[in-house]
Amino acid sequence: MIQLNEEIRASLQSALKREWLETNGLGGFASSTITGLNTRRYHGLLVAATKPPVGRAVLLSKVEETLTLDGRAYDLSANQYPGAIHPQGHTLLKQFRLDPFPVFVYEVEGVEIEKSVFMIEGENSVAIEYRAKSIEGKQISMEVRPLIAFRDYHATMHENSSIRSHVHIESNIASVSPYDNMPALHFAHTQGEIEPSGHWYRDFEYEVERERGLDFTEDLFNPFVLKFDLNREAAIIASTERRDINRIDEYRSAEIARRSATEKSSPVDDDIVRSLVAAADQYIVARGEGKTVIAGYHWFSDWGRDTMIALPGLTLVTNRADVTRQILLEFARWLDRGMLPNRFPDEGETPEYNTVDATLWFFEAIRALIAYTGDYQFVRDNLYDALKDVIDWHERGTRYSIRVDADGLLLSGEEGVQLTWMDAKVGDWVVTPRRGKAVEIQSLWYNALRVMENLARHFGDGSNEKRFGEMARRAKRSFNQSFWNEEAGCLYDTVDGDARDAAIRPNQIFAVSLCHSMLTAEKSRRVVEAVERHLLTPVGLRSLAPGDAQYRGCYEGGVWERDSVYHQGTVWAWLMGPFITAYIRVNKSKQARARAVEWLRAFRDHLSDACLGQVSEIFDGDAPHTPRGCMAQAWSVAEILRAAVEDVFEIKPSSRARALEISAD
């Protein structure tokens, strides 16, 4: 449980930087600040995934609440309007906690009003409950005014005459259907009285969007008013389904039990690990009959690269190998010309194939599955032929000039495209093009070849075992000849013909952290030392060394300003995972693990700082390393969790399943 008390009233601006997130296993979510004041266009009580896991739309933005106590009215909500915060219900907010879902506790004249919010797993449904305490002899009621948006979650709504204001009322359900291209929204409610309204609330301002240089104003529509007698418990379920409000206790109990079971699956009795296990669950969502991974909240969909990197931490460390298999199968369906999709767009099912590394991380995810489960049969029956086809495509060449060069290393890149994970692009400007041979791509390519060599050996495929082994050895020789920078004592970031990029970036850490490494023990040690010296912060690795002329230590401003520094010094939390793995691998000692424990402990405060219980995507490169970007990122959670369990606490995959880690390296 995360609980905040005096932090709320001490500073409104500080409170507005703390956010909460509820998810529904479909890609939909509910989210806001701990005050209930929305600061993003992505905030909303029901952001539904209309085409799971995408097609997300803000249906219910928020509810305005007015408490009446012995005839006196108190507004509990808060909004940013031009030049003013109104109402100021945050001044009545005594406590916010995650227990296990968001609970707001207001205090008015000695009376406590507790409001809780939770989503129902597998549905575009959100439940809001109200309970009043210490109300003996008092007359107490609540007026709730839903504010709806019904728009794509990347956009904002503005007053218009196209909206249908009609409210269909029957029994204890009020339904609205404002636009033809959106689902209807049904409000099941307890003993409330309903009065149609039909008013626009104008000029909400979203400060975070203002800071990001995006549209930050919105108008919201109030279709009706609900009035409750708070001498009894009151509740609302807003849903694209017609829910039975009388089952709300059942829904709540089921959700508490589900979350409790998730937390109990933690492989380590450690508070940070348990928190990360709970956080990991929020990224695993449905895609058709299978599963996929939401890369980050609020605005990312499912990305191939992010999914493959995050899989071991999200699913294998947490004993959910069945989910791993489902996701691997789902993505394998989309292999095309030897490439895994990089992204499934929000607006449809046509994937984008514009990454060189997502497919290579696919091999590593499969290696990890076998390491944890020993399930060679699954790989043989479902994936091995596809993996061989991937290697074939890379040998003969596929999109974006991705192909094996004469030296056995992997070439990639064309003018105007960004193919590695450092993929920021501003207009036609690719900020970090990294064309030619990028260091982590070679590390992943070699790792994939060794994985294939060992799979072929296990499956009795002698000719391919020999072929993959020879390809790996050729790549290893060429890599050590081309990439070692003796002057800096580390690896070049990219090699393009005779050009060498000596910028010190974190990409070289994968040459040490991946299961199969091309480096000697001494070179591995020097790489780790260089990365620690130049790039390590308490919350991850900088994307560029501060001494570099291109370094930028603060991620802020409009779209151009932010994208131009995305990989030019910004700290990435997910890189702490491979760094810890590499550090412990080259410093095999209790002292090394003790240092890694301290690095993990640095995330304790962060779990109560930005999105409560989650890990942010990025941080400023300069101290105090302010959280930025997505407030909750899958690979940030997954890689820190994986490294904590496997490397710090030494909970390794079963030795019977580690055959893929034995090779001729």
> For the chain, how long is the longest CA-to-CA vector?
86
Instruction: Enter the tokens of residue 557.
Output: 């401003």
3-state secondary structure of 517: coil
Going by C-beta distance under 8 Å and a sequence separation of 6 or more, which residues neighbour residue 664? 469, 473
Reported confidence tier of residue 654, pLDDT bands at 50, 70, 90: low
Structural contact between residues 313 and 46, judged by C-beta atoms closer than 8 angstroms: no
Q: Where in the chain is the domain with CATH 2.70.98?
A: 2-257
CATH number of 2-257: 2.70.98
Calculate mean pLDDT across residues 463-485: 98
Q: Where in the chain is the domain with CATH 1.50.10.10?
A: 265-657
Where is pLDDT greater, at 653 or 634?
634
- Residue showing tokens 């001490």: 10
Give the whole-angstrom CA distance, residue 156 versus residue 220: 9
**Where would I find the beta strands (DSSP E) of 268-310?**
284-287, 290-293, 296-297
Among 324, 342, 240, 319, residue whose Cα is nearest residue 284: 324
Structural contact between residues 353 and 437, judged by C-beta atoms closer than 8 angstroms: no
Calculate mean pLDDT across residues 459-467: 98
Give the whole-angstrom CA distance, residue 500 versus residue 304: 29
Element spanning 129, H or E: strand 125-133
Structural contact between residues 573 and 619, judged by C-beta atoms closer than 8 angstroms: yes
Structural contact between residues 132 and 113, judged by C-beta atoms closer than 8 angstroms: yes
Reported confidence tier of residue 657, pLDDT bands at 50, 70, 90: very low
Whether 369 shows a pLDDT value over 70: the answer reads yes
Structural contact between residues 293 and 327, judged by C-beta atoms closer than 8 angstroms: yes
Structural contact between residues 365 and 311, judged by C-beta atoms closer than 8 angstroms: yes
Structural contact between residues 614 and 601, judged by C-beta atoms closer than 8 angstroms: no
Element spanning 115, H or E: strand 111-119
Question: Which pLDDT tens digit goes with each residue over 126-180?
Answer: 999 999 998 888 899 999 999 999 999 999 999 999 999 999 999 899 999 999 9
Tally of CB atoms within 10 A around 284: 24
Question: Which pLDDT tens digit goes with each residue over 480-521?
Answer: 999 999 999 999 999 999 999 999 999 999 999 999 999 999
Instruction: Enter the tokens of residue 180.
Output: 């033809």
Structural contact between residues 147 and 201, judged by C-beta atoms closer than 8 angstroms: yes
pLDDT at 6: 74
Give the whole-angstrom CA distance, residue 35 versus residue 627: 19
Q: What's the chain's average pLDDT?
A: 94
CATH number assigned to the domain with residue range 265-657, chosen from the 4 options 1.10.3720.10, 3.40.50.300, 1.10.8.60, 1.50.10.10: 1.50.10.10
Distance from chain centroid for Cα 92 = 32
Where is pLDDT greater, at 305 or 344?
305
- Burial-class residue 644 by CB neighbours within 10 Å (0-12, 13-18, 19+): buried
Element spanning 57, H or E: strand 54-69
Question: Which pLDDT tens digit goes with each residue over 2-32?
Answer: 999 877 777 899 999 999 999 999 999 999 9
What's the distance, Cα to Cα, between the start and end of the chain in Å? 46
Structural contact between residues 645 and 275, judged by C-beta atoms closer than 8 angstroms: no
Among 594, 596, 548, 539, residue whose Cα is nearest residue 571: 539
Give me the percent of the chain exceeding a pLDDT of 90: 88
pLDDT at 171: 86
**Where would I find the beta strands (DSSP E) of 137-242?**
140-152, 167-170, 173-176, 185-189, 193-205, 217-229, 234-239
Q: What's the CA angle centered on 392, arms 387 and 395, to 5 degrees?
A: 130
Give me the percent of the chain exceeding a pLDDT of 70: 97
Tally of CB atoms within 10 A around 379: 23
Among 441, 446, 282, 448, residue whose Cα is nearest residue 365: 448
3-state secondary structure of 406: coil
Which whole-number Å values give the CA distances from 197 to 224, 225, 508, in the listed order?
Answer: 4, 6, 60
What global pTM score does this model have? 0.95
Phi, psi of 217 (to 5 degrees): -115, 150
Q: What's the CA angle centered on 205, arms 204 and 206, to 5 degrees?
A: 125
Going by C-beta distance under 8 Å and a sequence separation of 6 or more, which residues neighbour residue 221? 147, 148, 149, 157, 163, 165, 178, 198, 199, 200, 201
Give the whole-angstrom CA distance, residue 466 versus residue 449: 11
Instruction: Enter the tokens of residue 291.
Output: 């599963």
Calculate mean pLDDT across residues 567-577: 97
Strand partners, 64: 145
Q: Which long-range contacts (CB under 8 A, 24 or more apart) does 374-380 make?
A: 374/654, 374/656, 374/657, 375/321, 375/325, 376/455, 376/458, 376/459, 378/325, 379/455, 380/459
Question: Which pLDDT tens digit goes with each residue over 244-260?
Answer: 999 999 999 999 999 99
Question: Which pLDDT tens digit goes with each residue over 434-451?
Answer: 999 999 999 999 999 999
Element spanning 618, H or E: strand 618-619
Reduced DSSP (H G I as helix, E B as strand, rest coil) percent helix, strand, coil of the chain, to 5? 35, 30, 35
Q: Is the dihedral of CA 393, 395, 399, 402 positive or negative?
A: positive
Question: Which pLDDT tens digit goes with each residue over 514-552?
Answer: 999 999 999 999 999 999 999 999 999 999 999 999 999
Separate counts of helices (H) and strands (E) for the chain: 18, 37
Could you check whether the bond before residue 298 is cis, i.e. omega within 30 degrees of 0? yes
Tally of CB atoms within 10 A around 332: 16
Give the whole-angstrom CA distance, residue 48 versus residue 53: 9
Reported confidence tier of residue 655, pLDDT bands at 50, 70, 90: very low
| Overall residue count recorded for the chain in this entry | 665
Element spanning 59, H or E: strand 54-69
- Burial-class residue 60 by CB neighbours within 10 Å (0-12, 13-18, 19+): buried
Whether 476 shows a pLDDT value over 90: the answer reads yes
Phi, psi of 571 (to 5 degrees): -85, 135
Instruction: Enter the tokens of residue 527.
Output: 């790489």
